[in-house]
Amino acid sequence: MKILTIVGARPQFVKAAVVSRVIRERSGIEELLVHTGQHFDANMSDVFFREMNIPHPAINLDINSMSHGAMTARMMEKLEEVAMRKKPDAFLIYGDTNSTLAGALVAAKLHIPVGHVEAGLRSFNMRMPEEINRILSDRVSKWLFCPTQTAVHNLRKEGYDSFQAQIELSGDVMYDAALYYSSKLDEVPSKVDMPEKPFALVTLHREENTNDLDTLKRLVTILENIDQEVVLPLHPRTRKKFEEFGIAPRIKTIDPVGYYDMIRLLKNCDFVLTDSGGLQKEAFFFGKFCITLREQTEWVELVNNGVNFICGSDAGKVEDALIQIRETPFPKDLQLYGDGKAGEKIIDVITA
């Protein structure tokens, strides 16, 4: 069996590493890894393949720095060429990026079955490009690998039991990755200077936060007013917007970090502020409260269990969340994302 795996952005490299490792352990399965090039900065892309022992992509499409429409169309054009030439038995796509949607549409039009890892997630905000990508990708996929029961519920509520699709509660491959790679920290040298004082870890990159000057300025002010050190690994998009808007934040910014160093930062920080979807879960995996700098989240179970606080760019909500975080012990023994064997379950289903 030949599986064509499509990746293009940092979270997808982490997720694919889990499933690719399972594929390498099984006989009779060949994986063709295609990197669309959506994240092309070496610190955002190449470092993950080196550090995480993912086979180097067989094909790099080098498609980036375009509008959503142009990027998705170019990816579809190139992925169709690859599929016609390599004739895979299945596509495997991850998450909610333009790379995800391009892969889903190409496979559907060529009648190649698609497995969507992280199916069923919903923010219910159609202004988010990611929401559009995940909904459309789910609709044309054969195997819908849901990380949580909430995701399963979302699909069933939308009528997927009536579609030609297979809903599977696989658990979350990000949890698999957190368990596996955190056990190997001693094998990989650190490239980040860990702050000596207690610190908050921040990531900031979503379009709704970085494209609007007023929103970005509010968020920077919030970060500057936190009464302890703040560390922000700076996404290339955010760095560009800081330069474009003439913003010079009075917080500690560092270059983007690899997955191992992100784990180190998570283990050592006091709490997390982020607009990332993946980091909300990773904070939970390592026992850290999270303040989400968005108006909604796909990971509602984190909010319902009191470990994630939805604050957007509202300074008052952030202040209230900080008070709760500092007065509340992190809950123990919460199992929200499976048993750490999601990768195995995904390959079992595809090869059945």
Q: Which residue has tokens 């992100």?
A: 262
Angstrom distance (rounded) from CA 277 to CA 290:
11
Q: What is the pLDDT of residue 170?
A: 98
- As a three-state string, the secondary structure of the chain is CEEEEEECCHHHHHHHHHHHHHHHHCCCCEEEEEECCCCCCCCCCHHHHHHCCCCCCCEECCCCCCCHHHHHHHHHHHHHHHHHHHCCCEEEEECCCHHHHHHHHHHHHCCCCEEEECCCCCCCCCCCHHHHHHHHHHHCCCEEEECCHHHHHHHHHCCHHHCCCEEEECCCHHHHHHHHHHCCHHHCCCCCCCCCCCEEEEECCCHHHHCCHHHHHHHHHHHHCCCCEEEEECCHHHHHHHHHHCCCCCCEEECCCCHHHHHHHHHHCCEEEECCHHHHHHHHHCCCCEEECCCCCCCHHHHHCCCEEECCCCHHHHHHHHHHHHHCCCCCCCCCCCCCCHHHHHHHHHCC
Alpha-carbon dihedral 115, 347, 11, 56, rounded to 10 degrees: -110
* Number of neighbouring beta carbons within 10 Å of residue 25: 11
- Sequence-distant (6+) residues with CB within 8 A of 42 are none
pLDDT > 70? residue 282: yes
Q: What is the pLDDT of residue 64?
A: 87
pLDDT > 90? residue 333: no
Answer yes or no: are the C-beta atoms of 54 and 16 closer than 8 Å. Answer: yes
State the chain's mean pLDDT as an integer.
94
Answer yes or no: are the C-beta atoms of 257 and 269 closer than 8 Å. Answer: no
Fold of 193-327: Rossmann fold (3.40.50)
Q: What is the pLDDT of residue 324?
A: 97
Given the residues 35, 39, 116, 205, the one annotated as active site: 205
* Number of neighbouring beta carbons within 10 Å of residue 244: 12
Please state the rounded mean pLDDT for residues 265-274.
97
pLDDT > 90? residue 140: yes
pLDDT > 60? residue 44: no
Q: Where do the CATH 3.40.50.2000 domains begin and end in the chain?
A: 2-172+338-350, 193-327
Q: Which residue has the higher pLDDT, 47 or 275?
A: 275
pLDDT > 90? residue 344: yes
Cα angle for residues 40, 42, 44 (degrees, 5° grid): 70
Answer yes or no: are the C-beta atoms of 195 and 167 closer than 8 Å. Answer: no
pLDDT > 80? residue 50: no
**Residue 205 annotated in active site:** yes
Q: What is the pLDDT of residue 56?
A: 80
Between the CA of residue 228 and those of 201, 288, 298, what are the distances in Å?
A: 11, 16, 29
pLDDT > 70? residue 43: no
pLDDT > 80? residue 54: no
Reported as a single tens digit per residue, the pLDDT across 239-250 is: 999 999 999 999
Q: Please, which pLDDT band fits residue 152 given cuts at 50, 70 and 90?
A: very high
Reported as a single tens digit per residue, the pLDDT across 77-127 is: 999 999 999 999 999 999 999 999 999 999 999 999 999 999 999 999 998
Name which of 40-44, 188-192, 264-268 the model is least confident about: 40-44
Reported as a single tens digit per residue, the pLDDT across 292-307 is: 999 999 999 999 999 9
Q: Please, which pLDDT band fits residue 53 given cuts at 50, 70 and 90?
A: confident
Q: For the chain, what's the residue count?
A: 352
Task: Provide the sign of the torsion angle of the four alpha carbons 223, 225, 226, 228, taken in this order.
Answer: positive
Angstrom distance (rounded) from CA 170 to CA 49:
24
Q: What is the pLDDT of residue 214?
A: 96
Reported as a single tens digit per residue, the pLDDT across 224-235 is: 999 999 999 998
Q: Does the model's pTM come out above 0.75?
A: yes
Between the CA of residue 144 and those of 135, 204, 206, what are the distances in Å?
A: 11, 29, 25
Angstrom distance (rounded) from CA 207 to CA 113:
31
pLDDT > 90? residue 65: no
Q: What is the pLDDT of residue 259?
A: 87
Answer yes or no: are the C-beta atoms of 235 and 204 closer than 8 Å. Answer: yes
Angstrom distance (rounded) from CA 170 to CA 117:
9
Q: What is the pLDDT of residue 274?
A: 98
pLDDT > 70? residue 45: no
Could you confirm whether domain 2-172+338-350 is CATH 3.40.50.2000?
yes
Angstrom distance (rounded) from CA 285 to CA 308:
12
pLDDT > 80? residue 207: yes
Q: What is the pLDDT of residue 272?
A: 98
